[in-house]
Amino acid sequence: MSCPAHNAPIKERLQALDDDAELPTAFYWMSAGMVFLVIGIPFIYRWTWLFLWDIISGVRQDLGPPKRPEGCRRLGRKAERNLSDETFTLGYKEVPRSASFPKPSESDLENSISKEYANTGLEGRIEALYLHPIKSTAPIEVDSATVTPLGLAHDRLFSFAHLESKLPDLDGNTEHSWHFITQRESAQLALVQTELWIPDPDAEDYDEDSIWVKNGGCIIVRFPFTSDYEYNRTGIRAFISEMLLRRRSKGRVGNMVEFRVPLVPCEERIKEKAYQLDQMRIWKEFPESWDMASEIDPIILRKLAYTLGISNSVTLFRVRDGFERELYKNAPSVEDIGFQTKVGLQDAYPISVQNMSSIYEVEKKVQEVAKKKGKSYRPDSRRFRSNIYISGPTAFSEVHMKRLAIQGRSTSDAEDQKSSEPPEPIVFALPCRIPRCKMPNNDPLLGVRDDDVFQPLSYLNKEWRIDPGASSGILGMMAIAYADSLHKEIRVGDEVVFYKHGEHVYNKIPDKEKWTPSN
């Protein structure tokens, strides 16, 4: 509003007061600023803190331990220990010895083993025990394990598989079949981690009707997967979690995708989730197993296939209880061991055994050659993916042995151990040696294969192709427990001895009619 001059006529001055006022622009900006201070700043402050808190909570969840399955306890631990970095010279002798080991009781134990093989380089102890609930994935290290007709309890119950398709026929029809996946096809399987959870009646939240207790526990599966980052809350969280996880694992592991499946699904669960029975090919066999795809989000399965470098569909199979594969080949007969040998989803035999001294010799030679070539090689006993690792026997002393006896220490005090009665030994037949494939060339820590470097398979093919039935070098022994040894527990630190000298000829034929008797 413009003010008339004071000397203007009174009529003009009164008329000017009735005109619309013209406020300065600054008045509007100041009003808007006051409204922003009163309403806007608290809103932005609240939104910012919620945004940051959501990211912080998400990152803490990504880095923290997962929620424990209700009513269960974890069996074993993540197997990060590299046995090849440790030294086992005479340490096993520090373990108190049993009064007599093993105690001759069966016809198979023909002589007093402790007298026959004392100080011959064939005795030692169990140094480590490993389980692989899902075939070819990262192992779980345990302090003890139960011997079952199928091997060690919980070992190789599951296997990933991918869908193979044949070329269409003249009518355009195409056959599809599932084929098991191992580190032979995908070295990245070594990065797939598993946790084994079993029902625990002592748990505070134990309930017989809870989902995991009813289904015998669960398997928690995690695998690395990094998607493209987006400029939003989820993308920022994923980026921060990725950086912190890689820093914590020294660059090895980033963001992990997780899913859970029942360990021993009950009939109710099988019907509820509509499990499908299908054949999964393992070498020349086609065991009918449970396809557990209905337990896993399809998006997660696609992410898993991407991580493994597989373009086809991927699923998870579980062995069908009561329909395991009968094993012949070199396996002892029913008359020999007291039962028909069967396997779950193992390649061939229920249990594999490695002598640490043999592994040391192989890895030392490989390191020497790699160093001369200017290459790097990281020793890791987990390359050989065995169940039982034994320290004490001299290198490759096991390759001509037919039996393995394991005996735990007496339950009495160490001072009275000499006078106490030792437990019966757990006896295993060693039906054949283990022909090695290219899997030991994989680095289990990084999930990569470097065939350009002189690798374990190269050395074994050169120096240890000694079995007339095997087309490759050997390392380690297959093992099958006797009926009297089933459902017993073996522990880290238990005494062991290889005995009963004999010859081995590896037999590949799975048919019963062409079974090769043990000798």
Q: What is the pLDDT of residue 8?
A: 60
pLDDT interval class at 6 (50, 70, 90): low
Collapsing DSSP to helix, strand or coil, 188 comes out as: helix
Sequence letter at residue 498: F
For the packed helices 233-248 and 41-63, what is the interaxial angle rounded to 10 degrees? 40
| pLDDT per residue as tens digits for the range 290-303 | 999 999 999 999 99
Most confident of 3-12, 218-227, 461-470: 461-470
What residues contact 197, with CB distance under 8 A and at least 6 apart? 68, 69, 72, 73, 74, 75, 212, 217, 218, 219, 220, 263
Q: What is the pLDDT of residue 110?
A: 44
Pairing of strands 276-281, 288-291: antiparallel
Give residue 210's Cα distance to chain centre: 25
Q: Is the pLDDT of residue 517 over 60?
A: no
Q: Which of 208-236 are b and which e, b meaning 16 or more Cβ less than 10 Å from the residue's Cβ?
A: eebebbbbbbbbbbbbbebeeeeeeeeeb
The more confident residue out of 22 and 483 is 483
| Interval 502-506 mean pLDDT | 90
d(CA 134, CA 221): 9
Decide if 269 contacts 216 (C-beta within 8 A). Answer: no
Q: What is the pLDDT of residue 300?
A: 93
Domains of the chain: 10-62 (no CATH), 75-152+327-446+475-519 (2.40.33), 158-165+172-262+265-320 (no CATH)
pLDDT interval class at 177 (50, 70, 90): confident
Q: Which residues pair with 474 in a beta bridge?
A: 435
Considering the chain, what percentage of its residues have pLDDT values greater than 70? 73
Q: What is the pLDDT of residue 265?
A: 95
Q: Is the pLDDT of residue 447 over 50?
A: yes
pTM, two decimal places = 0.80
d(CA 193, CA 186): 15
Write down the mean pLDDT value for the chain: 81
pLDDT interval class at 64 (50, 70, 90): low
Alpha carbon distances (Å) from 73 to 49, 70, 143, 144, 504: 37, 9, 15, 15, 42
Pairing of strands 489-491, 176-180: unpaired
| pLDDT per residue as tens digits for the range 398-410 | 999 999 999 875 4
The more confident residue out of 196 and 10 is 196
pLDDT interval class at 111 (50, 70, 90): very low
* Residue with tokens 């600023």, as numbered in its chain: 33
d(CA 297, CA 291): 14
Give residue 201's Cα distance to chain centre: 25
Collapsing DSSP to helix, strand or coil, 256 comes out as: strand
The more confident residue out of 131 and 38 is 131
Provide φ and ψ at 475, rounded to 5°.
-160, 120
Instruction: Give the residue ranges of DSSP H helices in 328-486.
Output: 334-337, 356-372, 456-463
Q: Is the pLDDT of residue 89 over 80?
A: no
Q: What is the pLDDT of residue 419?
A: 47
d(CA 322, CA 319): 9
| pLDDT per residue as tens digits for the range 10-57 | 666 666 666 665 667 776 677 777 776 777 777 777 777 777 777 677
Q: Is the pLDDT of residue 196 over 90?
A: yes
| Interval 224-249 mean pLDDT | 67
Q: Is the pLDDT of residue 380 over 50?
A: yes
Q: DSSP letter string over 11-71?
A: HHHHHHHTSPP---HHHHHHHHHHHIIIIIHHHHHHHHHHHHHHHHHHHHHHHSPPPPPTT
Alpha carbon distances (Å) from 119 to 97, 116, 124, 503: 13, 9, 10, 22
Burial of residue 43 (number of CB atoms within 10 Å: 0-12, 13-18, 19+): exposed
Alpha carbon distances (Å) from 209 to 67, 198, 261, 268, 474: 19, 14, 17, 12, 48
Q: How many other C-beta atoms can be found within 10 angstroms of the C-beta atom of residue 365? A: 17
